[in-house]
Structure 1
Amino acid sequence: MADRGVTDEAWLGIDLGTQSVRVLAATADGTVLGAGSAPLTGRRDGPRHEQDPRQWWTALCAASRSALAALHGVRIGGLAVCGTSGTVLLTDASGRPATPALMYDDARAAGEAARARRAGLAVQDTWALPKALWLLAEYGPAVREHGLRLAHQPDLIVTRLTGELPPADSSHALKTGYDLERDAWPEAALAGLGLPQGLLPHVVRPGTRLGEVGPAAADATGIPAGTPVIAGMTDGCAAQVASGALRPGAWNSVLGTTLVLKGAARDPVRDPAGVVYNHRAPDGTWLPGGASSVGAGALPAAFPGADPAALDARAAAFEPSGAIAYPLVSPGERFPFLAPEATFLLLGEPADEADRWAALLQGVGLAERLCLDYLHHLGAPLDGPLTFTGGGARSTYWNQLRADILGRPARVPQQTEPALGMAALACHATTGTPLTDVTDRMVRIRTTVHPQNTARFTAPYLRLLDALESRGWLPGPVAAHARGRAERHTGGP
């Protein structure tokens, strides 16, 4: 990071994550001038995963002041905010939180999700719409007198920044049931579910100007008053922008607490099972993808306080591992198959803790391979470059391991954070430059990882497919398609 002088202009990206709020200031050529973060805490208890939404603002104030501390004479051209997809809460009529925030993987609304599906809405159990119904039943009678509004995670922050209730961006509204192809709420179906009038916000496309930072917010955050506030996207889409994977056939794999794959296509990728869904890019093209419950979050759960680099070095002796894992972070799977009953799976007994670590790392890679096979099964375009981003992409060893398992090269950008994607979106929106041109300049590729000896992971992959299918989690046609690709030794898309 560097302070480059009084002529610089930078854009802010704000990422409301699961474990922290991160703020990044970047110039149009991708130079990071400042970055800051502040931790978040939550409550996990079985299917419950909540956060106190009031802490998001407190954390943003600390993170933004840290990011801006070294910037002198740098104009902030605009900012955009991303959040965890499917995180939702209810607010009062003025935008103050009236309930806890149900996080992206809170699984208590399965009954509401089934009711929504019976009403003709293609939603998953952990999507925002079922959670909104659950919150209404749980808290509605106590807070209804104050007026109720549904808010996605960024909506709360934008309200504090601008001092006005904002429309939602269509990227976050997707999991609340918004129809991106019709560009409208499915009002008849939603009314049949008993949603009160006025609960749902208006919706705009990502990249729309929502307002500007007000004086009170400027005092709290250090972000200059008058800074344009731009409608953002979900964290998965933000990471995709940060990867530059925006041209048809390109894909970005975001390995954080969980695993998200996002691609680019000229047309929506149709999935009758509803596992893959399609976001809309700011330019009107489509961003198909899905979010798994497998991810790096399984590592600290199994190895609290461990040194990842040290275990990576020891895990290299176990390729493949003596055990095969499907390392779900929380119960239930959403992608590459839909199985609410799925649980953490370990086949075999690891030789020691290094082998167990290896099984977890390889398990994520095997799940990632199955995600790509499922996308291929649906006919999604996969002929463009693959990029690794997210916290997991910081591990050189894990990047190589994943490329080996997938059998295809992967690009690793210098900056892997979703916050960079939001800085790029803010630059696009405030300058009018096409987003693909912005990311061509802003996204810097640090290295390209090439696969080595993919064949050694074929047997573990086939065994995992058998286990997932035998449990009734993985549909037979999908398993057969993945086996066919494995038997042909997939060395590319």
Structure 2
Amino acid sequence: MMFEGEPEAWLGIDLGTQSVRALLVTADGTVLGAGTAPLTNHRDGGVRHEQDPGEWWEAVCAASRAAMSSLRGRGASGVRIGGLAVCGTSGTVLLTDTQGRPLTRGLMYDDGRAVEEAARVGMQTSWALPKALWLLGAYGPGRVTHQPDVITARLTGGGGTVSTDSSHALKTGYDAEREAWPPQLAYLGEVLPGVVRPGTRLGEVCRTAAEATGIPAGTPVIAGMTDGCAAQIASGALRSGAWNSVLGTTLVLKGASASPVRDDAGVVYNHRAPDGSWLPGGASSVGAGALPVGPDPSEMDIRAAEYEPSGALTYPLSSPGERFPFVAPQATAFTLGKPASEADGWAAVLQGVAFTERLCLDYLHHLGAPIDGPLTFTGGAARSAYWNQLRTDILGRPARVPEQIEPALGMAVLAAYGTGTGGIALSDVADRMVGIRTVLAPRASHTARFIEPYARLVDELETRGWLPTPLATHTRTRLNEDTIDS
């Protein structure tokens, strides 16, 4: 088994929006090495968002070298690197040639130019297939490639022959239940890549890549997952009914289920887990990106605690349009009432995000998804102790915060799973590698304070025509039940 014998660690690589992060982690979750390198974002007019694929590789090399260097600095140079996996931003896509060389820049997850293509295929503009069709129309022939595929191709030296994983392929239209590209995409032919399940061995680090990255040649390269799924693995939320709430610039909820969660509205989608079970989830456009830039967050959190609830009610979209818990491309951020102070305005955003988080869980309950397992907070916002407790109070349910809240840890866990020989479940591997730092309990008196503003937000969203009436009704029913129980 992989947890016995010589010292061993696994490398997780996260291709984020602002940077690439690499973590080298042992079987018990100890971080032996870490590295990071910045990325440049090319934005224009709130619609165009691109990155240079060449910069992805340069950043991976820098971050990996830093992680390997810190490993040697700890006197752990004798540790064997058991394998690595790479995650990327969901929906980011580009075109490459038959050798895997980029022909275009990467269109990022929130690039909004593929409006006509999205309408034609019945998907959100944030998904990869509309953007891939836009690229094919704008630039001509090429092979549809997802962000991590560029890196795994360089690492293995496999070029255009390296398969993508089904997690990143999901938003390109891949049928995760049939585990095949659907017939309606047959016209694209070889433009679409081969697909394997996450956790599948793709190859080994070639000598050229080893020289560039510092990762030993021959290290197994394992098929990864999207950054949201990677964060879920890092949270340990892998048993049915468990959920991970990733709060950064935006809010993403991902859970575990024995069967897919059906949603005719297309708000919730289902990733296929490495073991064949399901990881349903959805992504909202609310989040910390709606907070004003400039004030010190720690200081503002202290001041915001005086406003529970806030004198203003905010739906804090980080960018126009909403995707979860409802689809409303026309939605914009709004505030009802006037904050009494800068701190009250800060409080309104923190509370508005938590209200949306609660509405997302209400929607999942409305769909019949299992939500009775543990809830975990990850993402950059999970560093705020105040916001964590506030969210717990508004949700009215316990929550956990792991020691490490990075998607790169999830990829290290997946690499350990993918290189294992003992038939160990991914959830068991995660249990050994994921440590829990904090366990939070809701305070009943605080939860009661937020019932009225939450109900008012539900009413407002329904009145604006964004929130479907059946969901609004279901939410009020649950809220009444909770009020009676309390």
Short-chain TM bin:
over 0.9
- From 344, 366, 376, the equivalent of 1:377 is 366
2:104 aligned partner, one-letter code: T
User: Are 1:150 and 2:141 matched, yes or no?
Assistant: no
User: Are 1:435 and 2:426 matched, yes or no?
Assistant: yes
Structure 2 match to 1:3: none
Distance 1:66 1:474 in 2: 47
| Residue correspondence of structure 1 range 218-257 to structure 2 within 5 A | 218-257=210-249
Contact persistence 1:407–1:490 (CA under 8 A): no
| Residue correspondence of structure 1 range 67-86 to structure 2 within 5 A | 67-71=67-71, 72-86=77-91
- From 274, 277, 289, the equivalent of 1:297 is 289
Structure 1 match to 2:117: 112
2:149 aligned partner, one-letter code: D
Q: Percent identity of the aligned residues?
A: 72
- From 384, 390, 395, the equivalent of 1:406 is 395
1:297 aligned partner, one-letter code: G
Contact persistence 1:408–1:491 (CA under 8 A): no
1:336 aligned partner, one-letter code: P
1:161 aligned partner, one-letter code: L
Shift in Å, 1:306: 2.7
**SS of alignment partner, residue 384 of structure 1:** coil
1:284 aligned partner, one-letter code: G
Q: CA distance change for structure 1 residues 16 and 409 in 2, over 3 Å: closer, same or farther?
A: same
1:199-228 per-residue CA deviation (whole Å, 9 max, x = no partner) reads: 100000000000111111111111111110
1:137 aligned partner, one-letter code: G
| Residue correspondence of structure 1 range 105-184 to structure 2 within 5 A | 105-117=110-122, 123-140=123-140, 144=141, 148-164=142-158, 165=160, 166-184=162-180
1:36-66 per-residue CA deviation (whole Å, 9 max, x = no partner) reads: 1111121232222221222111111111111
**What are the ranges of 5 or more consecutive residues in structure 1 without an aligned counterpart?**
1-5, 118-122
Structure 2 match to 1:395: 384
1:124 aligned partner, one-letter code: Q
**SS of alignment partner, residue 190 of structure 2:** coil
Distance 1:96 1:306 in 2: 43
Structure 2 match to 1:326: 315
1:59-116 per-residue CA deviation (whole Å, 9 max, x = no partner) reads: 1111111111121222110000111111111112221211121111122212111111
Shift in Å, 1:7: 4.6
Structure 2 match to 1:448: 439
Shift in Å, 1:249: 0.6
**SS of alignment partner, residue 288 of structure 2:** coil
Structure 2 match to 1:478: 471
Shift in Å, 1:491: 10
1:243 aligned partner, one-letter code: S
1:381-432 per-residue CA deviation (whole Å, 9 max, x = no partner) reads: 0111001111111111110011011000001110111111110010011113
Distance 2:260 2:371 in 1: 14
Shift in Å, 1:490: 6.7
Q: CA distance change for structure 1 residues 184 and 416 in 2, over 3 Å: closer, same or farther?
A: same
1:10-37 per-residue CA deviation (whole Å, 9 max, x = no partner) reads: 0001111111111101000111111111
- From 258, 273, 278, the equivalent of 2:265 is 273
- From 95, 109, 113, the equivalent of 2:100 is 95
Structure 2 match to 1:463: 456
1:138-193 per-residue CA deviation (whole Å, 9 max, x = no partner) reads: 222xxx3xxx1111110011111111131110001000000011111013x124xx
Distance 1:375 1:85 in 2: 21
Contact persistence 2:91–2:168 (CA under 8 A): yes
Q: TM-score, normalised by structure 2?
A: 0.94
Distance 1:283 1:491 in 2: 40
User: Are 1:215 and 2:207 matched, yes or no?
Assistant: yes
2:299 aligned partner, one-letter code: A
22-31 or 345-354, which moves further after superposition?
345-354
Structure 2 match to 1:120: none
**SS of alignment partner, residue 275 of structure 1:** coil
Contact persistence 2:21–2:36 (CA under 8 A): yes
User: Are 1:335 and 2:324 matched, yes or no?
Assistant: yes
Shift in Å, 1:265: 0.7
1:330-384 per-residue CA deviation (whole Å, 9 max, x = no partner) reads: 1111111011111122222112211111111111111100100000000000111
Q: CA distance change for structure 1 residues 490 and 447 in 2, over 3 Å: closer, same or farther?
A: farther
Distance 1:363 1:279 in 2: 28
Structure 1 match to 2:20: 21
Q: Which runs of 4+ in 1 moved over 4 A?
A: none
- From 405, 415, 437, the equivalent of 1:426 is 415
Paired residue total? 469
Contact persistence 2:36–2:62 (CA under 8 A): yes
Distance 1:321 1:7 in 2: 55
| Residue correspondence of structure 1 range 45-64 to structure 2 within 5 A | 45-64=45-64
Distance 1:344 1:58 in 2: 37
2:144 aligned partner, one-letter code: L
Distance 1:351 1:337 in 2: 30
Distance 1:362 1:35 in 2: 34
- From 275, 278, 282, the equivalent of 1:283 is 275
**SS of alignment partner, residue 211 of structure 1:** strand
Contact persistence 1:455–1:489 (CA under 8 A): no
2:302 aligned partner, one-letter code: A
Contact persistence 1:149–1:201 (CA under 8 A): yes
Structure 2 match to 1:190: 185
80-89 or 33-42, which moves further after superposition?
33-42
Distance 1:411 1:281 in 2: 22
Shift in Å, 1:124: 2.2
Calculate the aligned-residue CA RMSD, in Å. Answer: 1.5
**What are the ranges of 5 or more consecutive residues in structure 2 without an aligned counterpart?**
72-76
Distance 2:311 2:164 in 1: 47
Contact persistence 1:79–1:227 (CA under 8 A): yes
Shift in Å, 1:461: 0.8
